[in-house]
Chains A and B, each alone.
Chain A
Amino acid sequence: MPDADRFTLSDLPPLRLDADFWSLRWVEERSESYAVRKNVALPFSACTDRGVMATVYAGGGCGYAATADTSLAGLSAALERAAAWARATAKFALIDSRTLPRPAPRGEYASPSVATPSRSRREWYELLMNESRAAAIDARIVDWDASIDVVHATHRLVTSEGGDVVQRYRFLFPGMAVTAHANGDTQTRTLHGHRGICQQGGDEVLARFGYEGAMRRIAGEALELLAAPNCPGGTMDVLLMPDQMILQIHESIGHPLELDRILGDERNFAGTSFVTPDMFGSYRYGSDLLNVTFDPTRGEELASYGWDDEGAPAERVSLIRNGILERPLGGATSQLRAGLAGTSNARADNWNRPPIDRMANLNLEPGDATLEDMIAGIDRGVMMETNCSWSIDDSRNKFQFGAERGRLIENGKLGAVVKNPNYRGISASFWRSLVRVGNADTVQVLGSPHCGKGEPSQVIRVGHSSPACVFANVDVFGGEDR
């Protein structure tokens, strides 16, 4: 039984906190990692990580203390340390904690298939070994691997106002990659990127992405890339497939809309934002076709939940509607600071870090174009699949992104495969060149377990759902001449 389930509030010894508010947030995660590389099973590894974050509002300050000592004495001591931090720094407090909400949420959340029995260790290794053995189709294949991480988590938030929320998750992180090398060039092909496939749920996640049997296909595509010419350069249309779109959304919509960035918290580390508070409600972020939602309620998506880590109830809201910026990604604390409506996205990556504004699920809503229509509408362009390179400035404006695989589009028809497709642009203008948005048939629900941010730093799970999209007149280029 997780520690979080054993706790009963009435068992806690009397606290001498003199606090306005306190909370205890348990995180207990059990993970199992399976991987096969070049037909050799990598050593099995498991992880059990559990601890509690104590947060206290006292004297106008807000302090925290994280501990893995989940005994009642350990919890009491952590609350007292957090209270001392609140008081010791109250004179410098950026936010008067007496003005902050004091949440009292109650309820439970569970991932799809959270209680469904998992495959046995032997079955996981058998699946991965079968995929691995399908990769070695040519001597030029020099490296390959197939892997799956399975994570079960229990999160519980108890507050001094009577709040008590239990959330149980099951995450699946499958991946596979093949690397081919010849004549001084190396090309790697993955199944939707490094951990791009990541969802809540059980084995149904694998079936959704055709995981079984995919290795042979991507091995063939890695060889195809070796033989392909470099992506041509020039100004042209790009058709970005969902496994490239998720990166585009993440970096040039998600991060700039984070309200803590806009408020300056991240300026010493992750960066600031070209978005300013006065833009909400009027700024044209993209073309009329751009509709972006924050949606932590979509069951299978990676960052779905019932409440955020400060206790705000999960709710689907529109951030950009018909191209106009409506609201930022900001939790209750940031909303108070900025005087703006936001989202339930105050999240921490573990028990040892405090909540900050994160993306959770950030989705681009589908339009009405079929994939065939989008291709047919392009005279000269490149279709790009699967992100492999990402770089953007600290205001989240000037970006350069690269994909694993490109295909030329000429006169409305898909043509030859090209390698090293890259493109660059500026967020503030790029989304205004969105000219076609794919319909629901083109949508994929993907994500990333590796979104980094914060001081101290945190790497958190985010979900992104997107259709394929077309952007006009983009600066495209390929790799180095060899």
Chain B
Amino acid sequence: MNVPRDVGAAPALMETYFHDLASTLDRLLVAGESYTAGFSAEASDFVRMNRGKVRQPGAVVQRYLDVRLIRGAKHAAHRLSLSGDAAADREMLRAATAGLRDALHDLDDDPHLLIATDVHSTRAQRGGPLPPAEVVIDAVLGAANGLDLVGLYAGGSMYRGFANSFGQRNWHEATLFNLQWSLYHRADKAVKSAMSGFTWDERAFAARMDRARTDLVHVAMPAMTLAPGKYRAYLTPAAMEDVASILCWGGFSARALATRQSSLARMQGSDDSGARLDPRITISEATVDGVAPSFQDDGFVRPERVSLIDAGRLVGSLVSPRTAREFSLETNGANGYEAPEALAMAGGTLATGDAVAALGTGLYVGNLHYLNYSDRPAGRMTGMTRFATFWVENGRIVAPVNVLRFDDTLFRMLGANLEALTAETELIAESGTYRERALSGMRLPGALLSELAFTL
């Protein structure tokens, strides 16, 4: 049987609803006021699985609007969850606007306020209808017959919008799914797989499942325990995602760089005094290639590409409007956290298919887990191996490896110890579902390191 969906959250109606909200705000303003409004909504199906069965199935429909009321250099914001009922939501907007108007009396001028006043409206729509989640789950659990599968299917439409009193309207709509699943052999020995996209391709899923079954054979071999030490290592794109994610935690933030809190602060310097990574490391924020919206919460539209590291040198940063005003910089449409949403690292020359052979003898790291900085100013980070991580001898997988902790600096990993990057890069959609489904991703190669320090 099919589950009934909330028709009010369908794409055709959601965009109209958003424009109606903006019109309501236009009418609520009084002389001397302006507003910005960021919209974020989704109609998502979530099916959680464990032991090859369904653990928690359900649906979430949510609509949030961040309204900022501005008068002169004073401003205040209110984030509202909205019901989808036009009359009820208009009343909420009226009350919230009145509350913000009242709040402005208590506030000082904000010297760092910067909003977009040049109107730059955009509209993007990607993805078509997906099959009902219950149909996908039939296929997934049917294929997992007899296997210990655990994971999450998240699918449906996501919406982002921006409106302001200058008449700008931006709309970004994406209907896509993200399926993350692990096949377990026993204890912590497992193979993790992921699939995401705008259309559900059952044959592509079957191929991924076949590959996971094959990898599970390697995982089921007797495990090795390696002593702490330095080993050659190949980090898959999935493992590199964890390394890149920790860099995104303030690493490229113009504010964090200016206040010396970025892990890349050592790379700053107007001359050649800054530390460098290997010349093959080139990183950009490539909104043009990702799934993230091309606009941010203050209405600034992002360039297609912002170069961050070029040939190993720090050449740029992500500058939010507020930071731009504080440090006299030009904003490049970064979000408030100045964190990448479409990070892209250039590939190298090593064919992915040759990575295990090139590794020779060392660690094939399929996934990393729970990274953090052990000395942020030095760019030193620590984390664990996870899932399909193998010991390789003479270009051949010998055994899965019990989890190991690495602790090393970015400047060694992607500097002196970088031996090769894979030619192919992999687009990894962010699977995060904290508060809402993420609409971001990274494009990354695998990396072969001549050594990586393991400590526990």
Contact = CB atoms under 8 A, between A and B. Distances in A.
Do A and B interact with each other, yes or no?
yes
Interface stretch (B197-205, B353-361, B369-377, B415-423): B369-377
A352 B85 contact: no
Interface string B55-99: 111111111100010000001111111111100100010001001
Interface of A: 40-51, 61-71, 74, 77, 80-82, 84-89, 92-95, 120-122, 125, 142-143, 179, 181, 184-186, 188, 263-265, 267-269, 271-272, 350, 352-354, 389-395, 397-398, 400, 402, 420, 422, 424, 426, 452, 455-459, 479-480, 482
Contacts of B151: 268, 455
A398 B403 contact: yes
Nearest to B140: A92
B370 A62 contact: no
A94 B54 contact: yes
Indicate the member of A93, A120, A268, A402 with the most B CB atoms within 10 Å. A268
A93 B59 contact: no
B58 A64 contact: yes
Contacts of B4: 80-81, 84
Contacts of B76: 43-46
Given A88-B3, A391-B370, A424-B456, A40 B141 contact: no
Identify the interface centre among B59, B103, B386: most chain A CB within 10 Å of its CB. Answer: B59
B103 A121 contact: yes
Contact of A48 (B81, B384, B403): B81
Interface in B429-456: 432-435, 437, 455-456
Given A40-B112, A80-B4, A142-B260, A45 B106 contact: no
A354 B143 CA distance: 27
A291 to B, nearest CB: 28
30 contacts: A41-B110, A43-B68, A46-B78, A46-B79, A47-B78, A48-B96, A66-B59, A69-B85, A81-B4, A81-B59, A84-B1, A84-B2, A85-B59, A94-B54, A121-B106, A179-B261, A186-B376, A186-B377, A267-B190, A354-B56, A389-B373, A391-B384, A393-B370, A393-B386, A394-B384, A424-B455, A456-B433, A480-B375, A480-B378, A482-B378
Interface string B328-341: 00000000000000
Tell me what chain A mostly uses at the interface: helix, strand, loop, or mixed.
mixed
A65 B62 contact: no
Nearest to B63: A68
Given A46-B79, A181-B259, A390-B372, A352 B62 contact: yes
Interface stretch (B44-52, B209-217, B284-292, B310-318): B44-52
A46 B99 CA distance: 10
Interface of B: 1-6, 44, 46-48, 50-51, 53-64, 68, 75-85, 88, 92, 96, 99-100, 103, 106-108, 110-113, 134, 137, 141, 148, 150-152, 154, 180-182, 184, 187-188, 190, 192, 259-261, 265-266, 369-378, 380, 382-384, 386, 403, 405, 407, 409, 432-435, 437, 455-456
A70 to B, nearest CB: 7
B259 to A, nearest CB: 4
A402 B330 CA distance: 36
A453 B32 CA distance: 45
A458 B434 CA distance: 5
A273 to B, nearest CB: 9
B54 A272 contact: no
A312 B63 CA distance: 30
A68 B57 contact: no
A391 B372 contact: yes
Given A81-B3, A186-B261, A265-B150, A402 B374 contact: yes
